[in-house]
Structure 1
């Protein structure tokens, strides 16, 4: 930890304890061997940190997402999150609207057809 993040064992343990061993973003349990130390890349670009810019411990998935977001032009997180929220809302509503529209015209969405196949024969 010292070489990459300038964290002494006591510093790392304090960070771990302050987060109760959970990812600071999604609150899933962290595995001490499979987690990331997140730091501000505006301070220290690359994998190494001065130690002052360490933000939190993250699971790998959240760390990847934070890294992707930070790589976007202008770091416009708020706009991105608003767009993401709108996108998810639109996608969720689309199915509901389709069902409502079909019902209004006296139609129903076709039921899914389950087809059993003979699993002893190759496809």
Structure 2
């Protein structure tokens, strides 16, 4: 069975058309999946920014509380809230909150503990 050039041409154009349709469907599916990934990424970014903003606000509140704790300690000078330490190890927001809380508690305990141990207080000897 011999095919004519016209028949072969129609066969090849049909194959090319089908391949083009499959490729466009694949591209649409890929674009849809990528769009979903981009949307999910944007949502994660927004959530991360919200958590960061909340954490920064909590740290500022702790700093203000710490400055109130050391207010009577005139020898202790502070120039304000320090910048973030970029060399600090990575930590989750909950780990960061815990670290700030523990540091504040340690500061408060150090400032509010008695200045001299009771053993150093002078005692009068009974004569």
Query: Normalised by the shorter chain, which TM-score bucket?
Result: under 0.3
Larger Rg: 2
Greater fraction of residues in helix = 2
- Name the structure, 1 or 2, with higher relative contact order (CA <8 Å, separation 6+): 2
Q: TM-score, normalised by structure 1?
A: 0.25
The TM-score, its normalising length taken from structure 2, stands at 0.25
